[in-house]
Amino acid sequence: MLEKMMKSKLFGWIDERTGAEAIIKSQLTEYEVPKNLNYMWNFGSLALLVLVLQILTGIFLAMYYKPSAALTYGGYTVAFDSVERIMRDVNFGWLIRYMHAVGASAFFVVVYMHIGRGLYYGSYKGPRELLWIIGVVILLIMQGAAFFGYLLPWGQMSFWGATVITNLFGALPVIGEFLQEVLRGGFAVGDPTLNRFFSLHYLFPLLLVAIVGGHVHALHVVHSNNPTGLDVHAGKSTIPFHPYYTIKDAFGVGVFLLFYCYVVFFNPQMGGYFIEVDNYVPANNLQTPPHIAPVWYLTPWYTILRSFESKLIGVLAMGASLGILFLLPFLDRSKVRSARYRPVYRQMVYLFFVTVIILGYCGHSAPTPTLKLIGQISTAYYFAFFLLLPFVPMFEKTKPLPEEI
Amino acid sequence: MSETDQTRRNFLFAAAGGMGGIAAAATVVPFIGSMLPAADTLAAATTEFDVATVEAGQLVVIQWQGKPVFVVHRTPELLKQVDGHDAMLKDPNSEAIEAVSAEWITPENRKYRAIKPEYLITVASCTHLGCIPLFKPSPGRAEWGDSVPEDWPGGWHCPCHGSLYDVSARVINGSPAPHNLHLMPYKYLSETRVVIG
């Protein structure tokens, strides 16, 4: 199919002017990928798919959404009403909004799987350090975009979530108050905040697209890792990306869409995990909801924040928990990449995954003394995992590596 | 390894690719659909108006569904100007398309294009490209100069591209506009209160 197209006269005309043939060959039909990738390697292309879905649905939502906290005759606000109008009056508005809201959660699901795969198989290790670092930047921008987007419906959770997070920045010494004012544009979260968050919510995905481009480029320079973590040799243990992995990725897309569509059509709020119930109550700056927690994908970091008595240390710890991801490639000194051949690291990384899930659970629940203690222990392990990495190779007996995949 | 069955492979490729293509094309429906007028836009469809507020011989422009609407209080003299120039009209009986007629049209009011002949209510958008025509009710050129023809029966002149309509808003031959000004469903709630739409 592709070969036929590439032999056509039209393609020849385009190729002369763009070098399209060389690009297609080097990036697709002659781009070598290890032949033994398992399904964990599907999540990269899925993340790209969800990014496209989010941008597409977002553009259409922006045609009806109005970022204004001005009061309406009904006693609500322009922003809140415009979201309800999308849900009730705009043709297919409910579908597009649910696609977008579920898409936000789906984005984090696939990206967390993608990151987890990188951790387990040592994809962050040399020569892929920069590829990993660009990925962490993507994660941070995603979290920012999600946070900005969450304010837009101007419900109770939107308002108080934004209040809490902007207060976090206020806790920083020296620049804190300045940062807080820059974010809020007023003395409290209000109309100016809503306007700038909408602007930034539109900007961040554009940044994402650019940086994802860099991520893919960086990948194509160093090529994919694989479940064994071995360096592979072109031709012998690799197959071209197209058609082999385009087909496999397409299959993954089919499976993903099955789950995604199920949630979008039958359970879009996911029991309050994807869209919190309190967010259907219009924002009220004079009353905080009885229980307030971030959406699930931010709760692990929220628990780390809550685990410290001092506000400042909590904020710094939360920043550090994300910042330490940048250092991961340099903290891990082992010569072996994949956890398959690293018995100690394997246990550590499994425990790390469990810990993050526990942190997420704690952050989503109302604080109790027991949960606080569990959260603190989990926070301790979260950091211990990274800080132990330089010392693990000193005593870890790695299993023998195979000659070839 | 057995030999590749190329026919089977091509069939599967076309079948899977075809289904995927159909699914992708189907997603266009909700997205383009969302850009069509929303339910509340469609619901804001009626306008109430008291025609007694229009003086004899006066024209007012009101809004209905975001569109301009003419309400003219036609004097007996103006009503007489409706007759005698059918040969100049593209569609004297307002039959060319559905939009130039309405349910309430009867053989008696057909030439007046109004339920009560003295009150003409029509969409004020020129059927050429949507400008609002200027009201030039008196016949001849005395008041209007050469912006209207010598045998001007009185009516509307569109400033954008020169379309002409008579006092029943019927388009005059030679105008770029294809149709008479559109009518809409309306009814009288009382002697003078009208609900449009």
- Per-residue confidence in pLDDT tens, chain B, 197 aa: 467 788 998 898 899 889 989 999 999 999 999 999 898 888 777 889 999 999 999 999 998 888 899 999 999 999 999 888 888 999 998 888 988 888 888 888 888 999 999 999 999 999 999 999 999 999 988 889 888 898 899 999 999 999 999 999 999 999 999 999 999 999 999 999 999 98
Is the confidence at residue A110, as pLDDT, over 80? Answer: yes
Whether A92 sits inside 8 A of B40 (CB atoms) is no
Model pLDDT for residues A378-390, shown as the tens digit of each residue: 999 999 999 999 9
**CATH 1.20.810.10, chain A: domain bounds:** 33-288
User: In Å, what is the CA distance from A383 to each residue of A300, A317, A350, A360?
Assistant: 13, 9, 14, 15
pLDDT score, position B96: 87
CB-based contact A230:A341 (threshold 8 Å) = no
Q: What average pLDDT does the segment A173-195 reach?
A: 92
Cβ neighbours for A187, distance < 8 A, ≥ 6 positions apart: none
Q: How far apart are CA B128 and CA A287, in angstroms?
A: 56
| DSSP type of residue A293 | -
Q: What is the pTM of this model?
A: 0.85
pLDDT score, position A126: 87
Q: What average pLDDT does the segment A21-36 reach?
A: 93
Q: What is the CA radius of gyration of chain A?
A: 23
Contacts of B40 in chain A (CB under 8 A): 85, 88-89
Percent of chain A whose predicted confidence (pLDDT) is above 70? 100
Question: For A247, which residue in chain B has the nearest alpha carbon?
Answer: B13
Cβ neighbours for B128, distance < 8 A, ≥ 6 positions apart: B158, B160, B161, B163, B175, B176, B177, B178
Smallest CA–CA distance, residue A120 to chain B, in Å, is 33
Contacts of A64 in chain B (CB under 8 A): 34, 38
Q: How far apart are CA A290 and CA A308, in angstroms?
A: 22
**What is the crossing angle of helices A176-184 and A156-170, to 10°?**
150
Ramachandran quadrant class, B180 (left: phi over 0; alpha: psi -120 to 50; beta: rest)? beta
Q: What average pLDDT does the segment A304-310 reach?
A: 92
Smallest CA–CA distance, residue A167 to chain B, in Å, is 37
Cβ neighbours for A120, distance < 8 A, ≥ 6 positions apart: A40, A338, A339, A349
Is the confidence at residue A1, as pLDDT, over 80? Answer: no
Query: Edge to edge, what strands does the sheet with B67-73 contain?
Result: B59-64, B67-73, B119-123
Model pLDDT for residues A249-302, shown as the tens digit of each residue: 999 999 999 999 999 999 999 988 999 888 999 999 999 998 888 899 999 999
Nearest Cα to Cα of residue A381 among A313, A293, A321: A321
Cis peptide before A243 (omega within 30 of 0): yes
pLDDT score, position A90: 96
Q: What average pLDDT does the segment A148-160 reach?
A: 95
3-class DSSP string for A40-95: HHHHHHHHHHHHHHHHHHHHHHCCCCCCCCCECCCCCEHHHHHHHHHHHCCCCHHH
CATH number for the domain running over A33-288: 1.20.810.10
CB-based contact B180:B107 (threshold 8 Å) = no
pLDDT score, position B65: 86
pLDDT score, position A137: 98
Chain A, 198 to 257: residues with Cβ < 8 Å from chain B are 250
b vs e for A288-297, b when ≥16 Cβ sit within 10 Å of the residue's Cβ? ebeebbbbbb
Q: Pick B34's closest partner by Cβ from A1, A88, A96.
A: A96
B161 as an active site residue: the answer is: yes
Q: Is B26 on the interface with A (CB under 8 A)?
A: no
Q: Pick A85's closest partner by Cβ from B30, B36, B38.
A: B38
User: In Å, what is the CA distance from A182 to each residue of A141, A149, A193?
Assistant: 18, 17, 9
Q: Is B196 helix (H, G, I), strand (E, B) or coil?
A: strand
pLDDT score, position B42: 81
Is the confidence at residue A122, as pLDDT, over 60? Answer: yes
Model pLDDT for residues A225-247, shown as the tens digit of each residue: 999 999 988 778 999 999 899 99
Q: How far apart are CA A200 and CA A161, in angstroms?
A: 17
pLDDT-derived band at A3 (thresholds 50, 70, 90) equals confident
Model pLDDT for residues A322-370, shown as the tens digit of each residue: 999 999 999 999 999 999 999 999 999 999 999 999 999 999 998 899 9
CB-based contact A240:A28 (threshold 8 Å) = yes
CA atoms within 13 A on the CB side of A281: 14
**What is the crossing angle of helices A156-170 and A191-222, to 10°?**
70
Q: How far apart are CA A323 and CA A316, in angstroms?
A: 10
Q: Is A4 on the interface with B (CB under 8 A)?
A: no
Question: For A85, which residue in chain B has the nearest alpha carbon?
Answer: B40
Length of chain B: 197
Residue with tokens 């659970």: A361
Query: From the candidates B73, B85, B161, B182, which is the catalytic residue?
Result: B161
The Cβ of residue A138 has, within 10 Å, a number of other Cβ atoms equal to 21
CB-based contact B147:B129 (threshold 8 Å) = no
Chain B, 40 to 69: residues with Cβ < 8 Å from chain A are 40-41
User: In Å, what is the CA distance from A386 to each residue of A56, A113, A154, A307?
Assistant: 37, 19, 38, 18
Residue with tokens 């120039």: B85
Query: CATH assignment of A293-393, given 1.10.287.980, 3.40.630.30, 1.10.1740.10, 3.40.190.10?
Result: 1.10.287.980
Contacts of A93 in chain B (CB under 8 A): 34, 38
Cβ neighbours for A359, distance < 8 A, ≥ 6 positions apart: A299, A300, A301, A303, A304, A375, A378, A379, A382
Whether B30 sits inside 8 A of A90 (CB atoms) is no
- How does DSSP assign B52-77, residue by residue? GGSPTT-EEEEEETTEEEEEEE--HH
A171-175, A220-224, B43-47, B101-105, range with the lowest pLDDT:
B43-47
Written as six digits, the tokens of A337 are 């990449």
Query: Edge to edge, what strands does the sheet with B134-136 contain?
Result: B134-136, B155-157, B164-166
**CATH 1.10.287.980, chain A: domain bounds:** 293-393
